[in-house]
C-alpha cells in the first residue's frame, strides 16, 4: 500500500512537468489583451510576475513554492492566490460531482439490473430507450432546455447560481450532469449483468433452486459491477468535463469554470494548480478503485 503511494510520486511529478511545459507552450500570455499595453508597462508587469525569467528558472521557482505548499498568485484573479481559488471552487464542484455521481450510480445500476433481468421485455425497452436518449443529447443542449422549461417558463427552479437559493440551485445542474452517466452506467450494468447471468455458476445456483433476488444479491451483482467499477475513473473524468459545461451554463463558481477561464486566459499558475490538484485527486481515486477491484474480485488479489 505504502509502495503504491510512493509510486504515485513520479506520476505526479511527470504531470507537473508536462502541464508546466504545455501551459507555457500555448501561444499568448496572461496579460495579453485587445488593449495592448505600452512596451515598458508590459515589461514591468512581466517582471512583477517573474515571467521575464528563462523557463527553467520559472520552473524551479514554481517547484520551490510548491514544496512549501504555495501554488502562487493567480494572474487572472489578481487579488487571489491559487490556493484560495481552489479552496473556494472545489467544495462546490465536489458537491456537484458527488451528487451527480450518486444519482448516476443509484439510477444507473438499478435500472440496468432491472433491464437485464427482464431482458427483452417492455420494461427493458423503456429503460434502454431512456438510456439511449440520455446519451444521445449533448449536455450543452440539455442544460439550456431544462433552464428554459423549468426555470424561465415554469419558474420552479432557479436559472442561475445565487448564494441563497439553498439546495434548489443544485437540482438542475446535478440532473444535467448525471443524465449521460445514468444512461451510460445503465447500459454497462445491463450488458455485464446479462453476461454474468449467463455464466455457469449462476446457472448452477439457479438449478439449485435459489430465487432470483438471492442470486442477484449473493452471486451476480458483485462480478457484474466490475465494468462499472472500471468505468468509475472515466466517469469521474467525464463528470469533470461535464462540470465545465454545466458550471458555464449555470454560472457555478466551481473548479471547472476556473479551469476553462484559466486556460483561455493563460492563467498559468491557476491552471497548473488545478491540474496538480486534480491529478493528485485522480491518482488517489484510482488507487481506491484498484483496491476495491481486488476486494470484489478475489481472483485479482491472488497474485
Partner 1 sequence: MKRSGGILLFVLVLAIIGPWLSPHDYLSTNFDDMLRSPGLSGLHLFGTDDLGRDLFVRTMLGIRVTLLVAVVASLVSLVIGVTYGAVAGYVGGRVDAVMMRFVDTLYALPFIFFVILLMVAFERNFLLIFVAIGAINWLDMARIVRGQTLSLREREFVSAARLMGVSTARIIFRHITPNLLGIVVVYVTLTIPQAILVESFLSFLGLGVQEPQTSLGALVDAGVNQMEGASWMLLIPAAVLALILMSFNFLGDAMRDFFDVRQTP
Partner 2 sequence: MRSIRRLLFFLVLSGVAACGGSDDGRESLSVLNRGLNTEPESLDAHKARSLQAADVLRDLGEGLVSFTSTGELTEGTAESWEVSDDLLTYTFHLRPEAKWSNGDAVTAEHFVFSVKRLIEPATAAFYAQFLVDVTELRAIDEHTLQIMLKRPTPYLLSLLTHPATFPMHPGALAEHGDGFARPGKMISNGAYVLTDWVPGSVLTLNRNEYYWNNANTAIDEIRHHISSQETAEYARYRAGELDITSSVPTDNFEQVRRDNGDELHIAPYQNIYYYGYNLSKPPFKNSPELRQALSMAIDRELLVEKVTGRGETPAYSWVPPGVDNYEPTVFAYAPLTQDERNQIAQTLYAEAGYSKQKPLRLELRYNTNDTHKKVAVAIQSMWRDVLGFEVDLINEEFQVLLANIRDKEVTQVFRSSWVGDYNDAHTFLSILQSQNAANVPGYASEEYDALLLRAAEQADLDRRRLYMEEAERVMLADHPTIPIYFYVSKHLVKPRVAGWGDNVLDYHYSQHLSLKAAE
- Tell me, rounded to whole angstroms, the distance of Cα 30 from its chain centroid: 26
Contacted entry of partner 1, partner 2, none for residue 66, CB cut-off 5 to 8 Å set by kind: none
Q: Which of residues 172-231 bind partner 1 (CB under 8 A)?
A: 180, 184, 187, 191-192, 194-195, 198, 223, 226-227, 229-231
Return the H-helix or E-strand segment holding 177. Answer: helix 168-197
**76 lies in the binding site for partner 2 (CB under 8 A):** yes
In this structure, what C-alpha cell is assigned to residue 170? 443544485
**55 lies in the binding site for partner 1 (CB under 8 A):** no
Shortest Cβ distance from residue 164 to partner 1 (Å)?
28
- The rounded distance, in Å, linking the Cα atoms of 22 and 10 is 18
Contacted entry of partner 1, partner 2, none for residue 45, CB cut-off 5 to 8 Å set by kind: partner 2
For partner 2, give the closer residue by CB, 179 or 205.
Answer: 179
**Cell 502541464 belongs to residue:** 19
Q: Which of residues 272-301 bind partner 2 (CB under 8 A)?
A: none
Residue from 54, 67, 120, 164 binding partner 2 (CB under 8 A):
164
Contacts of 147 (CB under 8 A, 6+ apart): 159, 172, 249, 250
**282 lies in the binding site for partner 1 (CB under 8 A):** yes
**110 lies in the binding site for partner 2 (CB under 8 A):** yes
For partner 1, give the closer residue by CB, 43 or 132.
Answer: 132
Task: At 302, give phi and psi (nearest 5°).
Answer: -55, -35
Do 258 and 275 contact (CB within 8 A), yes or no? no
Q: Which of residues 177-206 bind partner 2 (CB under 8 A)?
A: none
**251 lies in the binding site for partner 2 (CB under 8 A):** yes
Which one-letter DSSP state was computed for residue 121?
A: S
Region of residue 194 (left: phi > 0; alpha: psi -120 to 50; beta: else):
alpha
For partner 2, give the closer residue by CB, 187 or 266.
Answer: 266
Shortest Cβ distance from residue 269 to partner 2 (Å)?
14
Size, binding site for partner 2 by CB under 8 A: 68
**Cell 484573479 belongs to residue:** 77
Own/partner long-range contacts of 84-91 (Cβ < 8 Å, ≥24 apart): 85/258, 85/270, 85/273, 86/255, 86/258, 86/273, 86/274, 86/277, 88/253, 89/253, 89/254, 89/255, 89/257, 89/258, 90/254, 90/255, 90/277
**What is the per-residue DSSP string for 237-255?**
HHHHHHHHHHHHHHT--SH
- The rounded distance, in Å, linking the Cα atoms of 268 and 262 is 7
**103 lies in the binding site for partner 1 (CB under 8 A):** no
Residue from 187, 190, 219, 266 binding partner 2 (CB under 8 A):
266
Report the interface residues with partner 1, using CB under 8 A: 7-8, 10-11, 14-15, 18-19, 22-23, 25-27, 128-129, 132-133, 135-141, 144-145, 148, 180, 184, 187, 191-192, 194-195, 198, 223, 226-227, 229-231, 233-234, 237, 241, 244-245, 259-260, 263, 271, 274-275, 278-279, 282-283, 286, 293, 297, 299-300, 302-303
Residues lying near partner 2 in the complex (CB under 8 A): 26-29, 31-39, 41-42, 44-45, 47-49, 76-80, 85, 88-89, 103, 106-107, 110, 114, 144, 147-148, 151-152, 155-169, 171, 175, 248-254, 257-258, 261, 264-266
Amino acid at each position: 500500500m505504502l509502495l503504491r503511494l510512493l509510486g504515485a510520486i513520479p506520476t505526479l511529478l511527470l504531470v507537473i512537468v508536462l502541464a508546466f511545459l504545455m501551459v507555457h507552450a500555448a501561444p499568448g500570455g496572461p496579460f495579453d489583451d485587445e488593449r495592448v499595453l505600452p512596451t515598458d508597462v508590459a515589461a514591468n508587469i512581466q517582471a512583477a510576475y517573474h515571467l521575464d525569467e528563462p523557463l527553467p528558472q520559472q520552473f524551479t521557482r514554481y517547484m520551490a513554492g510548491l514544496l512549501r505548499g504555495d501554488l502562487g498568485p493567480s494572474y487572472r484573479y489578481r487579488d487571489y492566490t491559487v490556493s484560495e481559488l481552489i479552496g473556494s471552487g472545489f467544495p462546490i464542484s465536489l458537491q456537484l460531482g458527488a451528487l451527480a455521481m450518486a444519482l448516476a450510480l443509484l439510477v444507473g445500476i438499478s435500472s440496468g439490473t432491472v433491464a437485464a433481468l427482464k431482458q427483452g421485455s417492455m420494461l427493458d425497452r423503456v429503460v434502454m430507450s431512456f438510456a439511449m436518449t440520455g446519451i444521445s443529447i449533448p449536455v450543452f443542449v440539455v442544460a439550456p432546455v431544462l433552464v428554459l422549461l423549468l426555470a424561465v417558463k415554469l419558474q420552479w427552479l432557479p436559472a442561475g447560481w445565487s448564494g441563497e437559493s439553498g439546495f434548489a440551485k443544485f437540482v438542475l445542474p446535478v440532473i444535467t450532469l448525471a443524465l449521460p452517466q445514468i444512461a451510460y452506467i445503465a447500459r454497462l450494468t445491463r450488458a455485464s449483468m446479462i453476461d454474468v447471468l449467463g455464466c455457469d455458476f449462476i446457472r448452477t445456483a439457479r438449478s439449485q433452486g435459489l430465487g432470483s433476488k438471492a442470486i442477484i444479491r449473493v452471486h451476480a451483482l458483485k462480478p457484474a459491477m466490475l465494468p462499472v467499477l472500471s468505468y468509475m475513473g472515466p466517469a469521474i473524468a467525464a463528470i469533470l468535463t461535464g462540470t465545465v459545461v454545466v458550471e458555464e451554463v449555470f454560472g457555478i463558481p466551481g473548479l471547472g469554470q476556473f479551469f476553462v477561464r484559466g486556460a483561455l486566459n493563460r492563467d498559468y499558475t491557476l491552471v497548473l494548480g488545478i491540474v496538480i490538484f486534480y491529478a493528485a485527486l485522480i491518482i488517489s481515486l484510482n488507487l481506491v478503485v484498484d483496491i476495491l477491484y481486488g476486494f470484489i474480485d478475489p481472483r485479482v488479489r491472488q497474485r
